[in-house]
Amino acid sequence: MSQKGGRLIVISNRIPTDETPSGGLVVALHEALTERGGIWIGSSGGPQEAPREGLTQIASGAYSRYAFDLSHADYEQYYLGYANSVLWPLFHRRADLINVQPGMVEGYMAVNERLAKMVAEIAQPGDLIWVHDYHFLPLAAALRALGVDNRVGFFLHIPFPTASDVPALPQADDMLDWVAAYDVFGMQTETDVQRLDALAARVEGKVNNGRAFPIGIDPVGYRDAAIASAAGDNMALSLGQKLIIGVDRLDYSKGLVHRFEGFGAYLAQRQDSDPKATLLQIAPPSRENVDAYQDIRAHLESTAGALNGEYAELDWTPIRYIRRNVARERLAGVMRRADVGLVTPLADGMNLVAKEFVAAQDPDDPGVLILSSFAGAAEQMQDALIVNPYDATEMGDAIQKALSMSLDERKARHAALLDGVQTQDIHWWTQSCLDALAGERVWLRPLATWARTLSAL
């Protein structure tokens, strides 16, 4: 059937409730849906005491928004369980942190099957269905089992796992079948595509739908917010003091303890004549009821306290650690003021903080981006100082280099980085993904495990 002219159906874990959404990805999806018309579907949030059956419309206009409820059991097994205690560590190369408990697999598959039935009821011929992130890996397979033949695309916002880690997945044999059910399986980097190919080769499978679409930001909007916020900034720093900024969710994949240790290596080699540099680390908590996150919080706070205790002076605290959200507008202004952006995850799908730091800078006097080689952004942003986040000495040396870098070199590196951020922005990403999804179907692989997977529910 012809796919031309149909609606766009977007499916994501969460759905914006504001009439005018904010944030790069949310704005991009909002604009795509407004232009094309369609439906945005997501969960209503946390567990509901009396979950409603089916989809509930929460807003309408140029497009409609529908929410589905999660019961307490759904939330524990599907969201906190399989999605965040199994898939998240696996995809971030921490198979050692996988915590499989009874009911998780069944809960994850049941939510995806239930959602597939809801989508199948509203999908019309020609609609494009665009699924986002690891919460819904089996969704296309469930849709195909119900007879839905619309073009269905996927975008994975986190890294794709290595072939050697996938066997740790309780349903490892089904992974390629989940991928194969999509017409386009979008990922952040070419490295992710290579990992998918390696997985297929390991089991003598064939995968042709993996594509790299590095996600971007709205650089103009972020720059404008940074300029406006910086004009009214009242953050206190002593004369000549340098500011290093890190912004991350409190997550073991972000390498925050390693980052503090790298900053500690810089402090250890710092000379008295060097300017005093403060690392401002903003790390709002996430998933605090998962044990691994409680551990990382305790370790991070202990490391920060030890470094401040050793190196702080009466007029200088080397590490400022904020464990709560900072408004996006205020954060943009702080980014503009920062001399160094420290983006050093151990594993990351893309990391938009790196691109936001570049967009926020003053081109006439820009700061320096230090970027982990394990961030997806490193593929595009080679003019940053690329570091191994596991090597504290290397990170310490990079900080020293960034703080002492000449203006000419800073401007040259920033100009090259900004060109990439502006060229492959969030609008480029959205259009690239949708163009691929609307294209001709290039292959179809028999999915032998669909029936077995769904019949087990």
Of the candidates 110, 212, 217, 197, the one whose C-alpha atom is nearest the C-alpha of residue 155 is: 212
Sequence-distant (6+) residues with CB within 8 A of 236 are: none
Q: Is 274 a residue of the active site? A: no
The single residue of 30, 157, 258, 414 carrying the catalytic annotation is: 157
Of the candidates 338, 229, 353, the one whose C-alpha atom is nearest the C-alpha of residue 278 is: 338
Contact 68, 39 (CB under 8 A): no
Tokens describing residue 181: 């059910």
Sequence-distant (6+) residues with CB within 8 A of 125 are: 1, 2, 6, 150
Task: Name the residue with tokens 């790298």.
Answer: 262
Contact 214, 429 (CB under 8 A): yes
Tokens describing residue 416: 């090259």
Q: Is 157 a residue of the active site? A: yes
Q: Say how far residue 108 (Cα) sits from the centre of its chain.
A: 20
| Residue at 396: amino acid letter | G
Beta pairing partners, 444: none
Phi and psi angles of residue 69, each rounded to the nearest 5 degrees, phi first: -90, 150
Contact 282, 256 (CB under 8 A): no
Tokens describing residue 168: 């740790």
* 64-68, strands of its sheet edge to edge: 55-59, 64-68, 38-43, 8-14, 128-132, 152-155, 184-187, 210-212
The single residue of 69, 183, 218, 348 carrying the catalytic annotation is: 348
Q: Could you list the active site residues?
A: 157, 348
